[in-house]
Amino acid sequence: MSLIRQIWCLVLGAVLASVLGGVAVSTWSLRELLQTQAQLKNNDNANALALALSQQKGDAELMSLLISAQFDAGAYESVRWRDAQGKAVFERHIETPQTSHAPAWFVAVLPLSVAPGVAKVSDGWRAVGEVEVRGQTGYVHEALWRATLNSTLWLLLVGVVTGVAAALVLSRLRRPLDTAVRQAEGVSQGRFETVLEPQVPEMRKLTSAMNTMVVRTRQMFEAQAEQLRTLHHQLLCDELTGLSHRRQFVAELSSALDRDDGPLRAGLVLVRLRDLPGLNQRLGHGATDQALMAIAQGLRVYPEQVRGCLAGRLNGSDFALWLPAPGVVGDTATALADALRAGLQGLGQGIGVALGAVELPRDQPMSAWFAAADAALARAELGEGVVLELRQAPPSEEVAQGERAWRALISDALAHQRSRLLEFPLIGRDRQVLHLECPLQLKLNPLGEFEPASRWLPLALRHRLSAEADLQVLALALQAAQHDQRARCINVAPASLNDGSFIARARELVQSAPSAVRRLVGVEVAEPAAVQNFESLQELGRQLRPLGTLVGLEHAGAGLAQIDRLFQAGLDYVKLDSSVVSGVSADAGRAAFVRSLVVMLRSLALKVYAEGVTDALDAQALWDCELDGITGPWASAQGIKP
């Protein structure tokens, strides 16, 4: 039982005991008072009757008539006259005792003991007997009952007022307690929030201690995030320029090419500082390093400003820039060339830079991308100074058919629910399926085949149809979970979070499902949502997590260290991107970085999974890093059944 409930029980018990005790004491005291008054009345009546009888000169007839008349006129229960020898001369009893409106149990619990009034009767100095008078007591019980009811009502009223006052005081005391509880729960869930200190001295000490703990925990987390950023820079970035080194850039590019939500066409720019050994001899290492830094600075602008851009240093003289958008590679490469001309102009004579830019369909293999970009770069090296060579592939089928036609196809497929879910397992350390990842496929042509998301999702994002697609995925996942009771997770595009009605509609869908099914479905968004749509991500967690639905972050990588409010996002798990975990078995530095990520995320009470795992050695290395689950081609090839 909670402390507040215990205090409530104590208050209610005290009030109830006070009311019952007050009623009992007042009733008992009133009973004694009424009983004494009845006794005095009997004595007074006996003395008055004895005085009247003494004036009859001992005439028995007159005395009997007087007693009878007095009995008929008064509220007597009995009247008895005895002579001097104690023999009863005259006696009257009421035939029907006075009825009382008091309950029988009340009369039985509080009986009255009233002695009769006795007085001597005389004729002058001669004693002629005594008279005994007993009055009726029914009215006494009735008065006692009414008085008990009145006192009970008044005491209950006082008790209610006392209870209300106690409730107000307890609510005032409960507010800082509830705040402290929420603060403690927030810390356990990775939310570090300080609160105002209350006026109650004891609670002020507790709140002050909690605030101090929260501040220190937040500082520890921020220090850990800073160490993680440093470790990322040391292990995954080029020491001189700070850009991703070749292995990391290739891993990031491979992950970008494999994602379903990428553009249909993208661009790759290769930049080469020509004759690097000759520049070192002519200008010196310092000036050459400045030239390399100028190229890196020109490339770094794009990842910092455009989501999804990648920049890296491939070797001593070569750099690369990935542009995840169609139709921008030409303008971007031209702007980059102009910036390099201006930036390298003051560093010395004879500095030449070649830029090879290509735009291709994203479904091309990575080897085709680098082959096309290398060919363009080779032609650019034939010139002098800063030279750009641009190559673009023919328009894709989607552009040839027209975007309106594709929008109509996607809208029609969603409207007629020509959709299905694929299922890829995420397995735990014990080789049990933790949940199924469920991407959506659409049958764009009613007579055709189901198309993967990489085929239609980029156009759906462009035409703001992602929210409808994600809601359909959620509905299918809930239906499938209700059918086979297997846990599933779905991906929600960051663009869907920007739809004003998406979160409310998603909550309605989840709420309409049975409570057991809600806990079997998870919703996850890509890492950029934690930066660009942080408030929407928070709202998604606030709406869905109380219903039992899990909320996760996918494609997470080095950017986690940059999310200073990750502890406030309201997440249940994080999936590390394949660019982070790929090759972890052969790279001790990468393994150390992954292990540091796991430690940081575990401190926020988050489950940590790895995605895109293709190699058994990488899988074992990830288990050694204490990850909670693995998904990807390797996990799917295990053939594990839930």
What digits encode the pLDDT tens for the residues 55-86? 777 677 777 888 787 777 777 778 887 877 77
Residue at which a domain ends, from 105, 135, 160: 160
Look at residue 400 in the predicted model and tell me its pLDDT.
Answer: 45
Look at residue 222 in the predicted model and tell me its pLDDT.
Answer: 73
- Total domains in the chain come to 3
CA 189 to centroid of chain Cα atoms: 9
Q: Name the strand (E) or helix (H) holding 45.
A: helix 3-54
**pLDDT of 494 above 60:** yes
Residues 385 and 463 in one domain: no
Residues 347 and 426 in one domain: no
> Quick check: 355 and 271 in contact, CB under 8 A?
yes
Residues 458 and 567 in one domain: yes
Q: Which of 22-26, 264-268, 367-371, 513-517 has the lowest mean pLDDT?
A: 22-26
**pLDDT of 401 above 70:** no
Question: Is the alpha carbon torsion for 222, 228, 233, 237 positive or negative?
Answer: negative
Q: Which long-range contacts (CB under 8 A, 24 or more apart) does 100-103 make?
A: 100/138, 100/139, 100/141, 100/142, 100/145, 101/142, 101/145, 102/141, 102/142, 102/144, 102/145, 103/145
Q: Which CATH number characterizes residue 36's domain?
A: 3.30.450
Whether residue 75 is contained in a domain is answered as yes
Residues 291 and 416 in one domain: no
Q: Which residue, chain included where needed, has tokens 């809600």? A: 518
User: What mean pLDDT do residues 553-564 have?
Assistant: 72
Whether residue 191 is contained in a domain is answered as no
User: What mean pLDDT do residues 166-172 have?
Assistant: 77
Domain of residue 266, residue span: 246-394
Whether residue 150 is contained in a domain is answered as yes
Look at residue 235 in the predicted model and tell me its pLDDT.
Answer: 78
Residues 586 and 551 in one domain: yes
Q: Which CATH number characterizes residue 319's domain?
A: 3.30.70.270
**pLDDT of 340 above 80:** yes
**Please, which pLDDT band fits residue 123 given cuts at 50, 70 and 90?**
confident
What DSSP string runs through 219-254? HHHHHHHHHHHHHHHHHHB-TTT-SEEHHHHHHHHH
**Please, which pLDDT band fits residue 3 given cuts at 50, 70 and 90?**
low
Q: Which of 336-350, 393-407, 437-451, 578-592 has the lowest mean pLDDT?
A: 393-407
Whether residue 211 is contained in a domain is answered as no
φ, ψ for residue 184 (rounded to 5)?
-65, -40
Whether residue 600 is contained in a domain is answered as yes
> Quick check: 599 and 224 in contact, CB under 8 A?
yes
Whether residue 234 is contained in a domain is answered as no
pTM of the predicted protein model: 0.68
Residues 101 and 123 in one domain: yes
Whether residue 633 is contained in a domain is answered as yes
Give the residue with greater pLDDT, 403 vs 88.
88
Residues 374 and 423 in one domain: no
Q: Which CATH number characterizes residue 434's domain?
A: 3.20.20.450
**pLDDT of 302 above 70:** yes
d(CA 172, CA 150): 33
Residues 578 and 464 in one domain: yes
**pLDDT of 1 above 80:** no
Residue at which a domain ends, from 357, 372, 394: 394
Residues 388 and 429 in one domain: no
d(CA 642, CA 632): 16
> Quick check: 252 and 310 in contact, CB under 8 A?
yes
Residue at which a domain ends, from 394, 409, 433: 394
Residues 490 and 353 in one domain: no
Look at residue 190 in the predicted model and tell me its pLDDT.
Answer: 56
**pLDDT of 529 above 60:** yes
pLDDT digits (tens, 9 = 90+) for 218-272: 777 777 777 777 777 777 788 888 898 898 899 888 888 888 777 788 999 999 9
Helical ranges in 200-345 per DSSP H = 201-236, 246-258, 276-305, 329-344
Residues 531 and 627 in one domain: yes
Label residues 77-96 b or e (16+ Cβ within 10 Å = b): bebbbbeeeeeebbebeeee
> What share of the chain has pLDDT > 90, as a percent?
18
Whether residue 330 is contained in a domain is answered as yes
**pLDDT of 508 above 80:** yes
The average confidence (pLDDT) of the chain is 82
pLDDT digits (tens, 9 = 90+) for 417-453: 889 999 999 999 888 999 999 999 898 888 888 988 8
Residues 125 and 250 in one domain: no
**pLDDT of 187 above 70:** no
**Please, which pLDDT band fits residue 2 given cuts at 50, 70 and 90?**
low
Task: Give every CB contact of residue 524 below 8 A, 6+ residues apart in sequence.
Answer: 489, 490, 491, 492, 551, 552, 553, 554, 573, 575
Give the tokens for residue 485.
């009771």
